[in-house]
């Protein structure tokens, strides 16, 4: 039997949907018994959310004041201690998981499979390389612990309705004081979360300015969509970094992705390959975005976007 | 602060469109342009800027790879690194082994900071910096978009999914850098000439006591499934029609 430990991501109040996607990935391992570990200052509320994910057998709470913020240097030694009882340890391929999981792997002296996109066998997986321009099948040593980050765009979230047990665990692990949380700045928004939104409206360099970029917000709000941006738009300062979609930004899989004024560099396409439907609006009919778009419209976005917003009523 | 070590990887150039070999044994690398991993270039640029602001800071560029990796280290020297070390090997080194190798170099060099790119654009693993910090038992600050150094400490702003996060780490520490930290300088011809005279030491995994083993076997390499090119519509009204038919709006 395989015992899979998933390191849950949360902000103390809400469990990140990436966790339920890791659960789906883990259920693809035959005979997997799945545990979600939650490290935090007070994980009581997120623990009940994790316990409701179908497929989860147990939830482990590791509450201590030092776990207030998800610092890899603080979390990794605790997760490595928890890992002793498991064959696999998974985390999401989000900035949280990508920061933390390799530190856990190295403390355990084992390798990590990054961006796991498909499970072929308990120790055989598929993952993308070269910005998704090649897919490799990799196999790890079954006698050693397997650490992986799960490419969340490749998996649907496991449904609710489960009833896992919840236990608190006290770990006798000494924690370093060399790393301290100072603060965070995030663009507060009432729009859906980009990573998990069903619809995304995304803008590129052709928007031309931060002021013009706001044009997309009206359309997004009409569609109930999250707003994304290409690297070019973020680099130019039109949109904040958390909106970036692509190889080095967020990899997303919405039902509908509307790319507006985005030419479609390989690195951007990597981030949207799993979208169900891609709609492209661009002045340049030769733009590479049209090669992958399900629906394309060539024209001036400054005329098209307001008209589209109007026709959507 | 006295020394910054910058870890550099030789990778297929950013602008090359890679192709998978028909027999699935890997990607075609013959005759392909190779460069410094772009994120590592940003890491080096940051080290050089810190050096130029302060005084008496030595910047050491290190790499692991085939003999030709000297080309990328010469580029690093031309950009302004003081000296370079190549751990020469023909074996493709996995992230954990790379981290162990950089740790062996760190124990010799005793740097105050080790900078790396947040990921290499070939295997996209995003592991080596974190692994190095773990086995060095030192802090890690990944995805840095701003680095401020003060006595014995660094304040690092990180690009995270929710926005920006700032952490403070004691030195020595490992920092991995993100895209928007800086824009690397262009190398000028006189600097390339000067770089030829700068020291470039070549050592080996054996000499550092590193054993390589395959932790993760690659069984097969395939091209990704291609999306089919869809239909073009002539105007917004038709676009709305199509989206309605698809049940998307």
pLDDT digits (tens, 9 = 90+) for A83-120: 999 999 999 999 999 999 999 999 999 999 999 999 99
Task: State how far residue B24 is from chain A, nearest Cα, in angstroms.
Answer: 9
User: Which pLDDT tens digit goes with each residue over A207-245?
Assistant: 999 999 999 999 999 999 999 999 999 999 999 999 999
Window B:115-134, CB contacts with A under 8 Å: 118-119, 121-134
Least confident of A147-156, B48-57, B96-105, B144-153: B48-57
CB contact under 8 A, A294 and B230: yes
pLDDT at A196: 87
Domains of chain A: 2-168 (3.40.50.620), 199-311 (3.40.50.1220)
Asked if residue A248 has pLDDT above 90, the reply is no
Task: State how far residue B199 is from chain A, nearest Cα, in angstroms.
Answer: 32
Any A CB within 8 A of B139 CB? yes
Residue from B172, B220, B234, B236 to probe the interface with A (highest A Cβ count within 10 Å): B236
Dist CA A25 CA A248 (whole Å)? 22
Rg (CA), chain A: 21
3-state secondary structure of B239: helix
Residue from B148, B161, B242 to probe the interface with A (highest A Cβ count within 10 Å): B161
CB contact under 8 A, A295 and B231: yes
Residue from A14, A19, A98, A147 to probe the interface with B (highest B Cβ count within 10 Å): A98
* Measured CA distances, B205 to B90, B104, B166, B178 (Å): 10, 10, 36, 28
CB contact under 8 A, A183 and B240: no
A31: left (phi over 0), alpha (psi -120 to 50) or beta: left
Asked if residue A256 has pLDDT above 80, the reply is yes
Right CATH for B3-223 from 3.40.50.620, 1.20.1440.230, 2.40.50.1020, 3.40.50.720: 3.40.50.620
Minimum CA–CA partner of B124 in chain A: A129
Any B CB within 8 A of A13 CB? no
**CB neighbour list of residue B29: distance below 8 Å, 6 or more residues apart:** B12
In the beta sheet, which residues pair with residue A150?
A: A92, A116
CB contact under 8 A, A293 and B229: yes
User: Which pLDDT tens digit goes with each residue over A37-54?
Assistant: 999 999 999 999 999 999
Asked if residue A187 has pLDDT above 80, the reply is no
pLDDT at B96: 97
């Amino acid at each position: 039997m395989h015992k899979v430990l998933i390191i849950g991501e949360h902000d103390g109040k809400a469990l990140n949907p990436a966790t339920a996607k890791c659960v789906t990935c883990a259920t693809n391992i035959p005979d997997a018994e799945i545990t979600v570990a939650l490290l935090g200052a007070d994980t009581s509320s997120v623990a009940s959310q994790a316990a409701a994910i179908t497929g989860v057998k147990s939830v482990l709470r590791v509450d201590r004041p030092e776990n207030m913020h998800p610092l890899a240097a603080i979390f990794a030694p605790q997760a490595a201690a928890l890992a002793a009882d498991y064959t696999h340890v998974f985390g999401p391929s989000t900035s949280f998981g990508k920061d933390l999981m390799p530190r856990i792997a190295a403390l355990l002296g084992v390798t990590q499979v990054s961006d796991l996109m498909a499970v072929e066998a308990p120790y055989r997986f598929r993952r993308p390389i070269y910005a998704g321009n090649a897919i490799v099948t990799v196999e790890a040593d079954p006698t050693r612990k397997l650490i992986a980050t799960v490419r969340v765009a490749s998996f649907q979230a496991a449904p609710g309705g489960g009833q896992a047990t919840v236990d608190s665990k006290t770990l006798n692990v000494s924690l370093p004081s060399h790393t301290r949380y100072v603060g965070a700045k995030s663009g507060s928004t009432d729009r859906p979360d980009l990573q998990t939104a069903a619809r995304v409206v995304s803008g590129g360099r052709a928007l031309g300015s931060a002021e013009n970029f706001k044009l997309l917000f009206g359309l997004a709000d009409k569609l109930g969509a999250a707003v994304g941006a290409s690297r070019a738009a973020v680099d130019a300062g039109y949109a904040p970094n958390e909106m970036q979609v692509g190889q080095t930004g967020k990899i997303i899989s919405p039902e509908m992705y509307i790319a507006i004024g985005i030419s479609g560099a390989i690195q951007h396409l990597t981030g949207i390959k799993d979208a169900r439907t891609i709609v492209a609006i661009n002045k340049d009919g030769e733009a590479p975005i049209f090669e992958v778009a399900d629906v394309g419209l060539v024209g001036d976005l400054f005329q098209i976007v307001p008209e589209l917003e109007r026709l959507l009523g | 602060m006295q020394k910054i070590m910058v870890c550099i990887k030789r990778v297929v150039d950013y602008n090359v469109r890679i192709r998978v070999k028909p027999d699935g044994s890997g990607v075609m690398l013959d005759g392909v342009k190779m460069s410094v991993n772009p994120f590592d270039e940003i890491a080096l640029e940051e080290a050089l800027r810190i050096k130029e602001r302060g005084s008496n800071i030595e910047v050491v560029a290190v790499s692991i790879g085939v003999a030709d990796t000297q080309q990328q280290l010469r580029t690093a020297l031309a950009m302004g690194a003081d000296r370079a070390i190549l751990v020469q090997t023909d074996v493709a080194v996995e992230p954990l082994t790379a981290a162990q190798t950089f740790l062996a170099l760190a124990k010799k060099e005793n740097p105050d900071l080790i900078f790396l790119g947040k990921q290499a654009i070939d295997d996209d693993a995003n592991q080596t910096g974190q692994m190095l910090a773990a086995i060095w038992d030192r802090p890690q600050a990944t995805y840095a978009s701003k680095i401020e150094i003060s006595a014995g400490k660094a304040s690092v702003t990180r690009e995270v999914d929710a926005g920006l996060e700032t952490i403070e780490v004691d030195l020595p520490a490992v920092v991995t850098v993100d895209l928007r930290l800086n824009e690397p300088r262009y190398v000028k011809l006189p600097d390339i000439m000067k770089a030829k005279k700068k020291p470039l030491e070549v050592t080996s995994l054996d000499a550092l006591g590193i054993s390589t083993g395959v932790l993760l076997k690659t069984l097969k390499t395939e091209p990704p499934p291609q999306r089919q090119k869809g239909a073009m519509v002539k105007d917004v009204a038709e676009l709305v029609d199509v989206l309605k038919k698809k049940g998307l709006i």
